[in-house]
Structure 1
Amino acid sequence: MWRFLPLLWAYARDRHRFVLFGRSRRVEPAVRRERAERLLSILFALGPTFVKLGQLLSSRPDVLPPTYLDVLSALQDDVPPADWDDARRVIESELGPVDDRFDDFDRDPISGASLGQVYRARLDGRDVAVKVRRPGVESLVEADLHVVHWTVPILRRFVDESRAYSLETLAEEFDRTIRQEMDYEREARMLTEIAANFDDDPGTVHPDVVESHSGPTVLTMEYLAGTKITDVDALDERGVDRVELAERLQRAYMQMIIEDGVFHADPHPGNLSVDDEGRIIFYDFGMSGRVDPYIQEKIVDFYVAIAAGDTDAVLDALIEIGTLSPEADRAVMADVLELAIQDARGEDVEQRRVQGIVEQIEGSIYEFPFRLPRNLALVLRVATVVEGVCVTLDPDFDFITTATAFLTERGYREETARAFVEETGEHLRESASSAVRVLPKTERALDRLERGDLSVRAGIEDPDDLLDQLAKRVVYGQVLAAGIVAAGVGIALETPIVTGAAGLLVAGAAVTLRRSFRTREGISARPQFTRQRLRRREREEE
């Protein structure tokens, strides 16, 4: 709490200059980046659990502004390996003596992470990769998760209602995800299931699990060597078609999410490689998830609407899926979506249009319209990270064309069109039935109107409390007028006490009345897209 307190205090003052009241403050981009970098250093200092939390936060635009996402996206789960003697005790407690169970075992890990590390070994004449849970990580994670759950109610007081909802779902999702990632038996099951779904796909390969040498804390798999998928120079030297590779990668994840319902949820470049035959190798299935049929259906609706360029249908799909608040400004969100679709097609986004939207919505803090249900957190992470990998492989990659081709080949667009026709037919039948019933009702209503006994009962809905606000303004105005009269009387009668009291009343009423006319519109987040961030980074590196 001591480490996070300065950031929380600064964010609270951004919303209200005097923490509990006052106007909002405008934060310059340089200040946001400085705070994001400070957050990055805090997460590093707090240890492995918070490194994992930072990785999850890097794909949560419903929790953090774009600048923070940009900074945290560089957070890699790469920590110094644990001592071999400690790791050996974990292996032997699970499998028995290392020298008896393996033909050969390299004591130096080939990769290290916050929750586990991977060693290379020989077993029955073939190379295997042995993933070992980091010694003592269970008690550390339990303590850190207790801290996370304890702090969420406090953090909720510093943010708006939408982000408070996202924080709560984030804590639940993080708890479940990190526990699942430490369970190597679950990882083995997920790996086997996902691999089986790609048995007929010659463009992908998954390591086989060695069940005889695996358990809750140790996972032994086939060792598969390959070139890191974002090592574009090495891929070019081998003659790999990077455009086709990016297309295959996106199609693989669309199959996992839309068709199979079970997916590899950690597609960062360290977990994806390309073998000598050009096949995509998937590593590390500790972070994996499932998608229920309803979400799958809505994701298809989302992609079909994007393919058709129907922004209204896209917004409807986002609202139905639970990621967009129904109260969001549809006109503003439609403008942002148009830019996002343009970027996804590989087209250059006009900075003038971006700036125009920013100027339209800038100047006040808006309740962020996006929120992320717990069953969509990993799906969003996959979409965000895969987009970054595909753009690295092909800066002009067209996500929408690839998605449209996939949906068309698998018959999803035809199914959607058929469902639309059936739904329209049902609406027509209902309309015809209503038309038959409405004529007699209309005649009875006209008869009652002619007799003079027709009464109308009306109820006024005011979900935004506009009438209440109007009433308050009337009262404030009356108090202001009374104060002015009282001040005038005090001046005329030369009574300083009455004049001073009336002056304070006038000042208070005037300030309160003025504040009641202030509105909160727009969104504070600037439209930023993966492709633009990638190009900006390239320019900075040059």
Structure 2
Amino acid sequence: MVTLVNLRAYWRFLLVFYQFSPLIVAYTRDRKRFVLFGRSRSVDAETRVRRAEVLLDSLLTLGPTFIKLGQLLSTRPDILPPEYVDVLSSLQDEVPPAEWADAQQVLHEDLGPVDEVFTDFDTEAISGASLGQVYLAEYDGEKVAVKVRRPGIEELVEADLRVIRWSLPLVQRFIGQGRAFSLENLADEFAKTIRQEMDYNREAEMLKEIQSNFEGNRDIRIPTVADDVSGPRVLTMEYLPGVKISDIQTLDEMGIDRTELAERLQRIYLQMIIDDGVFHADPHPGNLAVDDDGAVIFYDFGMSGRVDSFIQNKIVEFYIAVANQDIDAILDTLIEMGTLSPDADRQVMSDVMELAIADARGEDIEQYRVNQIIEQVESTIYEFPLRLPRNLALVLRVATVVEGVCVTLDENFDFISVATEYLTQEGYREETIKQVAGNVSDQLQSTSRSLVRVPPKLERVLDRVERENLTLNVRVDDKNGVFDKLAKRLAFAIFIAVGVLSSAILYAFGGSWEPAAVVAALTLPIGFLLYRSFRSKKGLRASPQFTRQNLKQRRNE
């Protein structure tokens, strides 16, 4: 079995390399215009859109695993430029269903003969996804939806996951350090998520847990699992028909208040993430419907996740900071969660956050600020010092997709006010105020103690300065290897100087040019290495940061 997976992985790797070879060549030429030599070249937005469309076609050609990967990438602006995110966001998890004979084989192996297990079974799938397909049937006098894992998908997914892991070092050559961090996390998260999504026993457990958390809540409906006819590859659930949540026209005909529906959906997800710690993680319109009473119906719990208490608390702090428009608190919370580098330019990030909040609230923004910041952010957000730890990636996906659904329902939807109202009603803001008050009290006590301790220490330091007996220990953090580069250049220069001097002495006193030419020939490669060290773009530069200077430079370009 392992050998077959390996052989299949090698073959898939060749297919993947063939599909992505045009993009690989293009990215290589971006780094060196003529591949092996020359300067790098700039890439405009139109070129990125064309490349994103090529990537989309490649993902569709490569099949189910890569379709799922593309969906995940479409929610990761920390990895891809906005043009890629926009193009990939159109990628739907819809592929033609497998042949009924293959699906029937899976049902027979897991449950037994279909005719004996179910009273009636419609062999035409009502939906076909990349990992499974859904059929309508009748069981114990009730209509049910039967989800069947796509035949042979396990081996294909395992082979493709190996290909993705093998491809990471190659892809990381074309991206920055921050995005390399996020990409590696995404690969780990994707492998874990897609394996979980293929395990229907896990999906049934998550579905039941979320259902119990909303017991008695009439705003949400979750199908009940039929355990007797479910297993690791088959999941039988109550059939709950409804209107697709993005079908605006039908919702209006039903008399549904779309603004209220959007608020209800946002509050449901706030409860899942902040209160319950377990959430449905695939809220695209195909998995959300509305019944005649206006309740939201949830389908497909294969992609679901958990949030630990630390992240829950930080999300609450983040929402409260956004509600209070406390930019410093927002940045501090992002740093504590590990999503923002502590070395980030806080002034630039503050400007971005202020603009984002104003835009989310629908406030009027001066055009010059939009031109100076938003356009730059949209074209370079993937170069920001933003990172997504594994435990936050699914939460970000949910927040992004839910906001899109809510804006579809109501183009003026204000998720900040809904979140603020929810946090206030649940008492989170009051708890935060008490916590802040306690922190202030602790700081006042600490300051009082410091006022007593500091003057004597300061007097001792001044005495040592006066006696010229003060020693300073300085430690330099050289993450970029600047000193190493300087040392190499200095060594090269010394070798060149010695070589030139030796050649001159041999020629002047030896009376023959041959020994001098030999020394000069040995010195020449060292001179070339020194020249390269000054010409290389990896010279004495710090890690790229998104700063005001970057913004000004990009505007000029």
Which bin holds the TM-score, normalised by the shorter protein? 0.7 to 0.9
State the alpha-carbon separation in 2 of the partners of residues 51 and 362 from structure 1: 24
2:110 to 94, 100, 116: 94
Alignment correspondent of 1:268 = 284
Alignment correspondent of 1:332 = 348
The alignment partner of 1:339 has SS state of helix
Alpha-carbon contact 1:365-1:522 (below 8 Å) kept: no
2:204 to 170, 184, 188: 188
Deviation (angstroms), 1:459: 0.9
**Residue identity in the other structure for 1:13:** R
Alpha-carbon contact 2:385-2:545 (below 8 Å) kept: no
Deviation (angstroms), 1:429: 1.6
Give the total of aligned pairs: 515
- Alignment pair present for 1:287 and 2:307: no
Alignment correspondent of 2:90 = 74
1:252 to 255, 268, 272: 268
Cα distance 1:190–1:12, how it changes in 2: closer, same or farther (>3 A)?
A: same
- Alignment pair present for 1:386 and 2:410: no
Alignment correspondent of 2:123 = 107
The alignment partner of 2:225 has SS state of coil
State the alpha-carbon separation in 2 of the partners of residues 168 and 505 from structure 1: 37
Alpha-carbon contact 2:133-2:148 (below 8 Å) kept: yes
1:454 to 453, 469, 485: 469
Larger mean CA deviation between 149-158 and 253-262 belongs to: 149-158
The alignment partner of 1:219 has SS state of strand
Cα distance 1:367–1:61, how it changes in 2: closer, same or farther (>3 A)?
A: closer
State the alpha-carbon separation in 2 of the partners of residues 459 and 10 from structure 1: 45
Cα distance 1:25–1:418, how it changes in 2: closer, same or farther (>3 A)?
A: farther
- Alignment pair present for 1:401 and 2:408: no
Deviation (angstroms), 1:25: 2.5
Deviation (angstroms), 1:509: 7.8
State the alpha-carbon separation in 1 of the partners of residues 388 and 464 from structure 2: 52
State the alpha-carbon separation in 1 of the partners of residues 379 and 295 from structure 2: 49
Alpha-carbon contact 1:24-1:364 (below 8 Å) kept: no
Cα distance 1:518–1:184, how it changes in 2: closer, same or farther (>3 A)?
A: closer
Alpha-carbon contact 1:361-1:523 (below 8 Å) kept: no
State the alpha-carbon separation in 1 of the partners of residues 380 and 296 from structure 2: 46
Cα distance 1:15–1:293, how it changes in 2: closer, same or farther (>3 A)?
A: farther
Alpha-carbon contact 2:311-2:337 (below 8 Å) kept: yes
Alignment correspondent of 2:439 = 423
Matches within 5 A, 1:208-223: 208-223=224-239
Cα distance 1:446–1:163, how it changes in 2: closer, same or farther (>3 A)?
A: closer
**Residue identity in the other structure for 2:457:** K
Cα distance 1:348–1:82, how it changes in 2: closer, same or farther (>3 A)?
A: farther
State the alpha-carbon separation in 2 of the partners of residues 208 and 349 from structure 1: 48
State the alpha-carbon separation in 2 of the partners of residues 274 and 86 from structure 1: 32
Deviation (angstroms), 1:313: 1.4
The alignment partner of 1:430 has SS state of helix
**Residue identity in the other structure for 2:26:** A
State the alpha-carbon separation in 2 of the partners of residues 365 and 265 from structure 1: 24
- Between the aligned residues of both structures, percent identity stands at 59
Matches within 5 A, 1:305-320: 305-320=321-336
Alpha-carbon contact 2:134-2:148 (below 8 Å) kept: yes
1:64 to 56, 77, 80: 80
**Residue identity in the other structure for 2:198:** M
Matches within 5 A, 1:516-527: 520=544, 522=546
Alignment correspondent of 1:200 = 216
State the alpha-carbon separation in 1 of the partners of residues 379 and 529 from structure 2: 25
Matches within 5 A, 1:503-514: none
Alignment correspondent of 1:534 = none
Larger mean CA deviation between 327-336 and 195-204 belongs to: 327-336
Cα distance 1:208–1:348, how it changes in 2: closer, same or farther (>3 A)?
A: farther
**Residue identity in the other structure for 1:455:** L
State the alpha-carbon separation in 2 of the partners of residues 254 and 20 from structure 1: 52
Alpha-carbon contact 1:364-1:521 (below 8 Å) kept: no
Deviation (angstroms), 1:190: 0.2
Alignment correspondent of 2:192 = 176
State the alpha-carbon separation in 2 of the partners of residues 135 and 177 from structure 1: 19
1:26 to 42, 45, 68: 42
Cα distance 1:128–1:293, how it changes in 2: closer, same or farther (>3 A)?
A: same
Alignment correspondent of 1:532 = none
* TM score, norm. by length of structure 2: 0.84
Alpha-carbon contact 2:344-2:545 (below 8 Å) kept: no
**Residue identity in the other structure for 2:78:** D
Root-mean-square deviation over aligned CA pairs: 3.5
Cα distance 1:442–1:333, how it changes in 2: closer, same or farther (>3 A)?
A: closer
State the alpha-carbon separation in 2 of the partners of residues 365 and 507 from structure 1: 38
Alpha-carbon contact 2:78-2:382 (below 8 Å) kept: no
Alignment correspondent of 1:153 = 169
Cα distance 1:313–1:23, how it changes in 2: closer, same or farther (>3 A)?
A: farther
Alpha-carbon contact 1:362-1:522 (below 8 Å) kept: no
State the alpha-carbon separation in 1 of the partners of residues 395 and 74 from structure 2: 13
Deviation (angstroms), 1:366: 8.4
State the alpha-carbon separation in 2 of the partners of residues 199 and 271 from structure 1: 20
State the alpha-carbon separation in 1 of the partners of residues 110 and 130 from structure 2: 20
Deviation (angstroms), 1:339: 2.1
Cα distance 1:454–1:373, how it changes in 2: closer, same or farther (>3 A)?
A: same
The alignment partner of 1:4 has SS state of helix
Cα distance 1:19–1:347, how it changes in 2: closer, same or farther (>3 A)?
A: farther
The alignment partner of 1:2 has SS state of helix
Alignment correspondent of 1:85 = 101
Deviation (angstroms), 1:454: 3.4
Cα distance 1:15–1:330, how it changes in 2: closer, same or farther (>3 A)?
A: farther
**Residue identity in the other structure for 2:280:** H
State the alpha-carbon separation in 1 of the partners of residues 55 and 527 from structure 2: 45
Alpha-carbon contact 1:345-1:400 (below 8 Å) kept: yes
The alignment partner of 2:18 has SS state of coil
Larger mean CA deviation between 215-224 and 89-98 belongs to: 89-98
Deviation (angstroms), 1:192: 0.3
Alignment correspondent of 1:373 = 389
* TM score, norm. by length of structure 1: 0.86
The alignment partner of 1:215 has SS state of coil
Deviation (angstroms), 1:349: 5.2
Alpha-carbon contact 1:445-1:454 (below 8 Å) kept: no
Deviation (angstroms), 1:23: 4.5
Cα distance 1:123–1:364, how it changes in 2: closer, same or farther (>3 A)?
A: closer
State the alpha-carbon separation in 2 of the partners of residues 372 and 312 from structure 1: 20
Deviations 1:391-411 (A, max 9, x none): 000000001111111111111
Matches within 5 A, 1:113-128: 113-128=129-144
State the alpha-carbon separation in 2 of the partners of residues 343 and 319 from structure 1: 23
Deviations 1:317-342 (A, max 9, x none): 11111111222222222222222212
Cα distance 1:374–1:449, how it changes in 2: closer, same or farther (>3 A)?
A: closer
Deviation (angstroms), 1:269: 0.1
Deviation (angstroms), 1:11: 2.3
Cα distance 1:360–1:280, how it changes in 2: closer, same or farther (>3 A)?
A: closer
Deviations 1:406-463 (A, max 9, x none): 111111111111111112221222222222222333344455556x263232415344
